[in-house]
Amino acid sequence: MPEQSSVAFNEAVGATVVATDLSPTDCLPDPDRFSSEGYWAFCRFQDHSIPAARFGFQRGGFNPGVSDASPNSSYLQLHLEVITDKGAILWLPSGNYGAERVQIQPGKLDMRLDDQGSRIFEVVGWPSVQCNFASPDGYLALELTFHLATITVLPDSTLPFCVFSMWESMGKVQGTIRYGQRRVPVSGMVFFDHTRVVRRRNSVLPRKLSLYTTMYFENGSGLFGYQALDIEDRPIKDYCFVIYLDSSGHGRLLRGSQLIELHIDPDHIAQGWKISYCDDQLAFDVEVSVQHHEILKCWGTPDSPQRRRDFSIMPLVLDGAATITESGGHPRVLQGWGLAEYYDQQLWPINPMAVKGIE
């Protein structure tokens, strides 16, 4: 059942709605109301040569940290990351383009960024969303179409200097990815989200870490959830949850969660975990392992990370399974696949341009 309202979206938290029924005020960018807003995609493909891609943008900086700093409304975070069977190809030009250069067409989902005659990205259409991203040197590009059926508004994340709100969808994706001279057709599933940030001082402990888990399962169902701890290693009650979508697209918010195991590799990146979610009628025990991918190529700024250990927010390609138990029923095991990320406050690579700008 839906819960309290979000500070940034009209739909009730936990309510899963048909994508075509989502109100324009919740779907479209609104730069007059929100100084920081973004669209991000986590794609998991069936093709072995390209198992995953993460890409998107955040228009306007925000302060997720522990020190008081003024966000820069002109900052544009921009990622285009493709994971291949040979390694990760990462174009990370965050800070190179002003957020005000993103062209937004009023009344529809149509956002573009051009630079010196090159189309850097475009996100167009709803609920079939066309996403085209390309590095200006022509080395890396993708042309993908998302087919979104439902949308769920997540609980707000209350941080010391802002409230971070988000809705998320799980849908099908297909298209092509090109890197170098290779052009690869891909298909699979996408976890697509729309983020909004409201500046507000809050009397809360800073976040120490959070773990984002996405899985889509062999029967067409899936889940996406968060587990967050504060700097005293206590679970943050409002941000420990999972959304479960059954194979018919019906959503369910489960508030009970427990991180049982978390394994960190020598590069300080999560390499696997066990997590459980439950309410009075349904329980999930999820176990995932993270594929190991070194950085094959990374560019975009002079300080772009060249080693895996220098990029703490590496996209995490997941393989795993969930044991699902319904009230009065027998446990059943589903194999699953996903793409996730791990946040560690001490390792988070804050770009000074994002949080020290002059308004």
| Span 225-241, pLDDT tens digits | 999 999 999 999 889 99
Q: Which residues of 270-280 are buried (b: 16+ CB within 10 A; e: fewer)?
A: bbbbebbbbee
Residue 354 has pLDDT above 90, yes or no: no
Q: In Å, how far are 7, 164, 316 from 292, measured between CA atoms?
A: 38, 30, 8
Q: Please answer whether residues 184 and 174 qualify as being in contact, where contact means their C-beta atoms are separated by less than 8 angstroms.
A: no
Give the whole-angstrom CA distance, residue 103 versus residue 14: 31
Q: Report yes or no on 2 lying in a domain.
A: no
Q: What is the mean pLDDT of the chain?
A: 93
Q: Report yes or no on 269 lying in a domain.
A: yes
Q: Report yes or no on 3 lying in a domain.
A: no
Give the whole-angstrom CA distance, residue 229 versus residue 239: 9
In the three-class reduction of DSSP (H, G, I as helix; E, B as strand; rest coil), residue 61 is classed as coil
Give the whole-angstrom CA distance, residue 252 versus residue 255: 10
CA angle 190, 196, 197 (to 5 degrees): 140
In the three-class reduction of DSSP (H, G, I as helix; E, B as strand; rest coil), residue 243 is classed as strand
Taking the alpha carbons of 337, 218, 275, 191 in that order, is the dihedral positive or negative?
positive
Q: Report yes or no on 6 lying in a domain.
A: no
CA angle 261, 265, 266 (to 5 degrees): 145
Residue 4 has pLDDT above 80, yes or no: no
CA angle 206, 34, 93 (to 5 degrees): 75
Q: Please answer whether residues 173 and 146 qualify as being in contact, where contact means their C-beta atoms are separated by less than 8 angstroms.
A: yes
Structure confidence at residue 357 (pLDDT): 42
Structure confidence at residue 51 (pLDDT): 98
The amino acid present at 73, given as its one-letter code, is S
User: Which DSSP helix (H) or strand (E) runs through 174?
Assistant: strand 162-179
Structure confidence at residue 359 (pLDDT): 38
Tokens at residue 248, please? 């018919």
Report strand pairing: 140-148 vs 16-18: unpaired
Report the number of distinct structural domains present in the chain: 1
Q: Please answer whether residues 153 and 167 qualify as being in contact, where contact means their C-beta atoms are separated by less than 8 angstroms.
A: yes
Structure confidence at residue 186 (pLDDT): 98
Instruction: Report pLDDT digits (tens) over 137-187.
Output: 999 999 999 999 999 999 999 999 999 999 999 999 999 999 999 999 999
Give the whole-angstrom CA distance, residue 321 versus residue 198: 36
Instruction: Report pLDDT digits (tens) over 209-229.
Output: 999 999 999 999 999 999 999
Q: Report yes or no on 150 lying in a domain.
A: yes
- The span from the first CA to the last CA of the chain, in angstroms, equals 40
R_g of the chain computed on alpha carbons: 19
H-type alpha helices, 137-268: none
Structural domain that includes position 128: 16-355
Instruction: Report pLDDT digits (tens) over 80-130.
Output: 999 999 999 999 999 999 999 999 999 999 999 999 999 999 999 999 999
Q: Report yes or no on 1 lying in a domain.
A: no
Residue 332: exposure state from Cβ atoms within 10 A (0-12, 13-18, ≥19): exposed
Q: Report yes or no on 7 lying in a domain.
A: no
The residues with which 222 forms a beta bridge, in sequence order, are 216, 245
User: Which residue in this structure is represented by tokens 């500046």?
Assistant: 199
What CATH number did the domain enclosing 98 receive? Answer: 2.40.370.10
Q: What is the CB-side half-sphere exposure of residue 185 using CA atoms within 13 A?
A: 0
Q: Report yes or no on 4 lying in a domain.
A: no
Query: How would residue 257 be classed by pLDDT, with cut points 50, 70 and 90?
Result: confident
Query: How would residue 3 be classed by pLDDT, with cut points 50, 70 and 90?
Result: low
